[in-house]
Structure formats: structure tokens, C-alpha cells
Amino acid sequence: MTSIPTLEDLEAAFDGDLSGKRILVRTDFNVPLDNGEIVDDFRIRAALPTIEWLTDRGATVVTASHLGRPKGAPNPEFSMDRVRARLAELAPGVELRENLRFDPGETGNSPEFVAELIDGVDGYVNDAFGASHRAHASIVGPPQHVPSAMGRLLQKEVEVLLGLRNKPKHPFVAVLGGAKISDKLGVIEALLETVDSIIIGGAMCFTFFAAQGKPIGNSLFEPDMVDTCADLLAKAESMGKTIHLPDDITGTDAAGNFAQFGSRLGEGSIGYDIGPGSAAAFTDVIMDARMVFWNGPMGMFEDERFASGTRTVAQAMAETKAFTVVGGGDSAAALAQFRLDDEVDHVSTGGGASLELLENGDLPGLVALRPSAS
Ligand code: 3PG
Ligand code: MG
């Protein structure tokens, strides 16, 4: 694997002098918004080390990001105004282009849009780890035309996540949650090669329950993934790995009232969280690990009645002596909600990107930065 140029390599490409150079920095400022207000500016703050490194050297920094999923046309709901205002507080004088996805050329990776992006630009830095699994114009285009490098955030993310993949410390435990097994299938198969055990929570556990022939009431599950889950359970067993499933569930009964169940749910009941027994068992596994990767909540934690499974796992992540890494998205949001985000070793800024990097060991955005790629 040819190595990826760093900011120092970029500086060297300009004979050690970046002053007056216009550098396009692709950031992932796709922050959660509520009524137009930024709920969490984690991704903006995460880009500051790279931005400041460049401005300290006299470069003019132009940042660019997508926000939400506008459909290739301007849409005021997804304007960068709020993000621009926050960036101006954190990094005065740094430009931010309008939402990249207002142009269909971004997701379509059109040469015309790449040309527009690099117009008047001397160099390019990718610090958008969270978007580096997308082969979009702003991620893969500029490195073919101007001297390019990875920013500090991208560099750290790659180091930590590839460290899990290539230099695991055992016991290595993956904690996976969320609603859909179909989103996680590839990463589960890849993780089975390196981990000792996988803890499964969130609604995806019901597809595994269905594969075991257990009744799940009206709980969310993926009917077309039941056979796949049965195969995964068999495969894990043949590899000597453990898949830990919850053996109690919290949810609502047929009358819609809060209820605790074992691992068989009666007609009309719905599971929304792992139960306290499972949370305690999962805590033990996490406490005994030397490395833990967590992606996806254990239940519907936005509802306080169904937050305790996710909170218990978050507390175990904070307390274990293991090296702890949390994938972006919902699990990062859960950690922040419980104010435990400073208690783990690494919180990734990327949800899909961290899973894809663990699965494939590479990302389109990284491939594009390698000198051999152009
Ligand atoms: C994310 O929030 O996961 C990244 O910013 C990528 O966004 P996307 O899934 O809309 O490409
Ligand atoms: Mg720790």
C-alpha cells in the first residue's frame, strides 16, 4: 500500500512554503440539525487542527462540505449558513463553500464539477473522513489535478481504525447495534476474522432471534435476512467465535405498556431495548476485553424508557481498561447524550466510513490520495 501524503508532504510539494497558497479542504460538516440549529458541532471542531495547521503557515483555506442529502439542487433547508456562522466563531477568516450536493456533479463525480472545485486552488486536503467512503467529486477528483494530502483528522481515523483491523489486541470485542443487519453484514463478516466475540443489540437482534426460531412479537426485523443470520451464527461457531445475543428484552406488551421479557416475545409485544440482564452480561464481556469497537445503539435510546441498555454499554465503554473505539453516527450521539464522549479512546467522526474501512481496509477517498492513483 503506497503511503498517503501528509500535510508535511503537501508543504514540501510547495518547497516548504504554503504562504499565499489557496488550499481547498474537504471537510465533513454534515452536522445534525434541529430546526436549522446545530445540535452537535463535533465534526466542525474535529477539522480545526488541520485548518489551523494550514492557516498558521499562511495558507488561505477554503473549506467545502455536503450537508444532508439535497438532491443535486439548491435547497434552503440544507444551506451551509448555520455551519458557516459556527465556523466563523471557531476559525475566523476561513471560507466555506455552499453545500456541495447542491450540484448534481458532486455525487455524480462529474469532471466539470471537479474543474469548478479546483479553479484557482493550489492544493487540496481531504479531512472529511466521514465522507471518504463516497466516490464523490470533492473526495476523489482534486487529487488528480493538484498536490494533495490527508488532513490530521483523516490521518488519525485511518491509524486507529486500521489498527483495530490489522493489529488487534485480544480479547477484541465488537459491539454492534442499530436496526438493520443488512447495513452491517459486510462488516460483521470482516470482523469475524479478527474479533473474539461480537455482541449484538438493537433491533437487529430480532432478525437473529427469528433465525433461532424464537417468537419476536411485533418487533422490527428483516425477514429477508433471517437465513443470512442463521448462516452467520453457524459460521461464527465453526470459527470458534462467540456471538452474544441478548437474553432479555425491554419493550411494550400487547396493550402498549412498558414491559420486560425474556428472549421470547409474545404476540403483540415489541422489543425496544436489551434488558438489564443482557446489559450486565455485555458489560462483563466489555470489561474483560483489551480492545472494543462499538457501533450502533442497543435500543431506542432517544426514549428514556428504552435508553438503559445503550447507557449501560456506554458506561462499560468508559470504564473498561480496553482500548475503546466508537463508530460515528448514533453511537457517538448516544455517548454525547450520556456525557461519556471524553471517556473513550477514540470517537470516530464517520459512521458508514468507519464500517467500510473496517470491512475493506481501504476507502475511495484514501485510494484517490495515493500518488499511484493518478
Ligand atoms: C455521514 O454523515 O455519514 C457522512 O457525512 C456521509 O453522509 P452521506 O451518508 O449522506 O453520504
Ligand atoms: Mg478505557
pLDDT per residue as tens digits for the range 10-44:
999 999 999 999 999 999 999 999 888 998 899 99
- DSSP label at residue 247: S
Question: Region 263-291: what's the mean pLDDT?
Answer: 98
What are 106-143's pLDDT values in tens digits?
Answer: 999 999 999 999 999 999 999 999 999 999 999 999 99
Amino acid 183: pLDDT: 85
The whole-angstrom separation of Cα 212 and Cα 168 is: 30
- Known catalytic residue at 370: no
Nearest in space to 274 (alpha carbons), one of 295, 318, 254, 244 = 244
Is residue 69 very low, low, confident or very high in pLDDT (cuts 50, 70, 90)? Answer: very high
Q: Which atom of ligand 1 lies nearest, measured to the CA of 30? A: 5
What are 143-194's pLDDT values in tens digits?
Answer: 999 999 999 999 999 999 999 999 999 999 999 999 889 889 999 999 999 9
Question: Region 47-73: what's the mean pLDDT?
Answer: 98
pLDDT above 70: residue 227: yes
Scan for cell 483489551, then name that residue. Answer: 290
**Distance from the alpha carbon of residue 367 to the mean position of ligand 2, in angstroms:** 32
> Is residue 130 lining ligand 1, measured as CB closer than 6 Å?
yes
Q: Supply φ then ψ for residue 172, to 5 degrees.
A: -110, 125
- Could you tell me how far CA 244 lies from the centroid of its own chain? 22
Active-site residue identified among 180, 241, 290, 305? 180
Amino acid (one-letter) located at 270: I
Question: Region 343-347: what's the mean pLDDT?
Answer: 96
The whole-angstrom separation of Cα 70 and Cα 78 is: 7
pLDDT above 80: residue 1: no
- Known catalytic residue at 329: yes
Amino acid (one-letter) located at 268: G
Of 33, 42, 66, the one to substitute when testing ligand 1's pocket (max ligand atoms within 8 A of C-beta) is 66
The alpha helices in the chain, defined as continuous H runs, are: 7-13, 42-46, 48-56, 81-90, 104-107, 111-118, 137-140, 152-166, 185-194, 204-211, 226-238, 276-287, 308-319, 330-337, 352-360, 364-369
Q: Which atom of ligand 1 lies nearest, measured to the CA of 69? A: 10
User: Which residue's CA is minimally distant from atom 7 of ligand 1?
Assistant: 131
Length of the chain: 374
Is residue 2 very low, low, confident or very high in pLDDT (cuts 50, 70, 90)? Answer: low
The whole-angstrom separation of Cα 368 and Cα 374 is: 7
Q: Which atom of ligand 1 lies nearest, measured to the CA of 328? A: 3
Mean pLDDT, the chain, rounded, equals 96
Is residue 374 very low, low, confident or very high in pLDDT (cuts 50, 70, 90)? Answer: very low
Active-site residue identified among 21, 26, 43, 311? 43
Is residue 72 very low, low, confident or very high in pLDDT (cuts 50, 70, 90)? Answer: very high
Question: Region 335-348: what's the mean pLDDT?
Answer: 94
- Known catalytic residue at 21: no
> Is residue 356 lining ligand 1, measured as CB closer than 6 Å?
no
**Distance from the alpha carbon of residue 318 to the mean position of ligand 2, in angstroms:** 6
